[in-house]
Structure 1
Amino acid sequence: MRKSGRRLRTPARPARRIPTAVPSPENSPGQERISSLTILSLAWPALLVLAATPLYLLWDTAVVGRLGATQLAALAAGATVLSTVTTQLTFLSYGTTARSARLYGAGRLADAIYEGIQATWVAIAVGSTLAVTIFAACPIIMRALAPDPEVAQLATSWMHITCLSIVPALVVMAGNGWLRGVANTRLPLLFTLAGVIPMAITVPWAVHRFGVVGSALANVLGESIVAACFLATAVLWWRRFGDARPWRPDWSVIRPQLAMGKDLIVRSLSFQVAFLSAAAVAGRMGSGALGAHQVLLQLWNFLTLVLDSVAIAAQALVGAALGRKSRAAAEAVAYRVIRFSVLAGLLIAAALAAGSGFIPQLFTTDEVVLGRIGQAWWLLVVMVLIGSVVFALDGVLLGASDVRFLRTATVLSVVVGFIPLGWLSLALGWGLPGLWCGLLLFLVLRCGAVVWRFRSGRWAES
């Protein structure tokens, strides 16, 4: 029997669906319109993730504070070390976001996930090294931070247990990075809640049962849960969207990650220098000035979370646009993000202006401290307005992987702007307003630098 010459058609393989709500990389370059709703859909989960840790730390501090001043001082010493370590390694999130976003925008989802896998290997290697080093050096570090032997001993015990959370914390940074890069900020929010809620529930019982060490146990529990969620997601996504590459460390990917990380670490260190220097200057002005500076600084740190969440959206969207080789789309996203961030800054500044008479009283009733806060309050309002531009353009330039410029601009702004004016305010008796003028100048210089870079267009060539 003669066979028909007609070819049998094999069923078409269904296209893999990319799990994100924003325009996918299959769209034609530059054709999609990024709306404010798209930016908001990325920014609000990122905001909650950014706010979750500070809010938990407030709860943790309140719980431990009930044990007494000694235990609270031990927690402060330990938390300072942990915060200093993890703050310097934000390249695991910001650097990974930029690189993954470019790959995702180019339609290379497997490569974007692979970038996250390699960043996770970096997190494990660096985290393990730091954990072992800090564990061994902890008694010396804590004696330097806390001259009281009892405080130093309790802080050492707290830190010895908390060292177990360093690797999970860095894995979480890497996980946040690559998921943001593929324009998914909702999963990181769910994972963060999955860890923070059990942590917040556990800490009162653990502290009551084990003392200040219970705080460390709760911290390890929460970080481990979040890290496990990110690792499980990487495995599942790689099985669904990945290729045949093995999971082992790939130096060809890790090397450029570390190169970008070097610049971001220097940038983070310059921030630390600025704010540690500010605390040192305020401390020399007296307890009233130091208390006022602490209130203003914590308000600034909290308010910048809103602006930083917009910057995270900018990183993902700009990186994806440049990955599609669409400079026009990247610029359109940048202008949209700037407008969105400035609007948020105006609303925050208006709220600060309207609440100038009562917001400071939520933090203290001391008349001296309140008077000092009032002297610098309007500088904080101006900083929020300028910061709305700085943070948006920081996100744009980070999304474009323009980290060398950001590193240099930040370091110069500290050295040329804040440090001279900050210490002159002490020497010439300008008080807290002079100190915060130094911080304002630091921000103004950064603003001028990132605006110039953005207008030059060179960021899109990075």
Structure 2
Amino acid sequence: MAAPRDREIVRLAVPAFLALVAEPLFLLADAAIVGHLGVAQLAGLGIAATVLQTAIGLCVFLAYGTTAAVARSLGAGDLRAALAHGIDGIWLAVAVGGVVTVAGVLLAGRLTALFGADPEVTDPATTYLRIAFLGTVPLLVVLAATGALRGLQDTRTPLVVAVGANVLNVVLNLVLVYPAGLGIAGSALGSVLAQLAGAAVFVLVVARAARRHGAPLRPDLPGVRAAGRSGAPLVLRTLTLRAALIATTYAVVLGAHGPRQQAVDLATHQLAATLWAFTAFVLDAIAIAAQALTGRALGAGEVAETRALTTRMIRWGVVSGVVTGALLAAISPAVGRLFTGDAAVQELLVPVLLVAALGQPVAGVVFVLDGVLIGAGDGRYLARAGVLTLVAYLPVVLLCGWLSAGLVAIWASFCAVFMGARLVVLRHRARGDAWLVTGAAPRPQPA
């Protein structure tokens, strides 16, 4: 049975892999283009990206929760209910996105100031962030619609849309930053316009499928509220992950002495974090397959198949982690020159990436197990596990910053303590039976 399971994993993971590779290219393209404006602008992009990714990352439940609910209904044989769950997720994305947009635009300056960087860094960070927050609703709609399609076992459509939006993003960035002379503001504006175009295509695809199968397109308030409640534990889980990343960036600022070292450390950290996100998305392709296949199998009541799929996907996670780690180590001496001409940033980036490469096999297993438990709807455990992991990590990374241990030590603590703790708590849960709950996700009835 390994071969059929492998084919299922590959069928979902390969398009998801390509789509997820395209997603971080939004930031990679921004970093490559903005990096040639200067170190201060690149460092500012690093702070703005941390804030924006935190805000959007907290809403990733729109994709994960929707995938699990849609896949369970699909496994139970109710395609209309599956699509209705997808529509609920999109309407929830619109509502949440509106709130985040207003708050983000109004608070952009205060959010960037929290990192304590010099004005030459926080000013471009604020400029980028204030514009980028205008793309929140499209981004969240893309998350929800992508989750719906993944739950329907379709990872090819998100790939096509992601590639198209990414190409448009690069073109708009190049035009708006340099010929149009908008600088870092042009980079933010180009990304917003590309995100808006991608969201429009996703909405069209999901709406057409819903019409074909009789699922309502109008907002169903009980369904939207139920989607919000089921996603709440995933918000806490994601909050702990984002808090760890913010604490890591804060430790970088805390440990730097003087404006020059601060700019170099932040710029290097931004590049390393972007490349880590790139490899994380690569590894997360198997986690996406895990979400979809686990939800479908449990919806159909197939506990033994769920166990077998989990074992197989863990093996895929280990192999993928070894491969991405080897590639990251191989490119570490040269990749810095693609993003900046600053020799200090290029030199510091090499050992940081080597540390990140060593953490890839652990990350591969962590992402797979995370995907399995998300697909099972085990959000409450993931929330509790996230809190425990954060409690273990914060004292270590903040101590590294306070002692000025250096950027390499900070990244070593991230890979060893943070990712290691996540591996322990997720592996512990996967060995038990409490997460193996069968049946379709219920839909509330209108009053």
- Normalising by the smaller structure, the TM-score range is 0.7 to 0.9
Alignment size in residue pairs? 424
* In the alignment, structure 1 residue 196 sits paired with structure 2 residue 166: yes
Q: Distance in 2 between matches of 1:445 and 1:150?
A: 33
Task: Work out the CA distance in 1 between the residues paired with 2:220 and 2:201.
Answer: 23
> What letter matches 1:420 in structure 2?
P
Give me the whole-angstrom Cα distance separating, in 2, the residues matched to 1:450 and 1:422. 21
Name the stretch that deviates more: 331-340 or 277-286: 277-286
Give CA deviations for 1:381-438 in whole Å, capped at 9, x if unaligned. 442122222111111111101111111112201202x223334445677655653443
Shift of 1:59: 2.1
Q: Cα offset for 1:151?
A: 6.7
Counting only pairs closer than 5 Å after superposition, residues 54-453 of structure 1 correspond to structure 2 as 54-67=24-37, 78-138=48-108, 140-141=110-111, 148=119, 152=123, 158-207=128-177, 208-209=179-180, 211-212=182-183, 213-243=185-215, 246-286=216-256, 287=261, 296-352=272-328, 355=330, 359-363=332-336, 366=343, 370=347, 373-374=350-351, 379-416=355-392, 418-425=393-400, 434-439=409-414, 440-453=416-429
Give the distance between the partners of 1:159 and 1:298, measured in 2 at CA: 17
**Deviation of residue 252 (structure 1)?**
2.7
In the TM superposition, residue 322 of structure 1 has moved relative to its aligned partner by: 0.4
Q: Is the 8 A contact 1:372 1:432 kept in 2?
A: no
Query: Comparing 127-136 with 404-413, which one deviates more in the overlay?
Result: 127-136
- 1:183 counterpart SS class: coil
CA contact (8 A) 2:24 2:277 kept: no
Report the AA paired with residue 421 of structure 1: V
What is the root-mean-square deviation of aligned Cα atoms in Å?
Answer: 3.2
Say if 1:402 and 1:359 are closer, same or farther in 2 by CA, change over 3 A.
same
33 and 401 in structure 1: CA distance in 2 versus 1, 3 angstrom threshold: farther
What's the CA shift for 1:304? Answer: 1.8
**Who is 2:443 aligned against?**
none
Contact 2:79 2:213 in 1 (8 A): yes
Structure 2 residue ranges without an equivalent (≥5): 439-447
Q: How many percent identity over aligned positions?
A: 36
**Mapped contact 1:123–1:167 kept (Cα < 8 A):** yes
Work out which structure has the larger RCO, using CA pairs closer than 8 Å and 6 or more positions apart in sequence: 2
Q: Which runs of 5+ in 1 are unaligned?
A: 1-30
Structure with larger Rg? 1
Retained in 2: the 8 A contact 1:289–1:372?
Answer: no
- TM-score by structure 2 length? 0.83
Taking the aligned partners of 1:367 and 1:139, their CA distance within structure 2 comes to 28
For 2:129 and 2:407, the matched residues in 1 are separated by 34
Is the contact made by 1:345 and 1:384 (CA closer than 8 Å) also made in structure 2? yes
Aligned counterparts of 2:180 and 2:3: Cα–Cα separation in 1:
55
SS in structure 2 at match of 1:459:
coil
* Aligned-residue offset at 1:321: 0.3
Check the 8 A contact 1:194/1:225 in 2, yes or no: no
> Which TM-score applies when normalising by structure 1?
0.81
Greater mean alpha carbon deviation, residues 79-88 or residues 99-108: 79-88
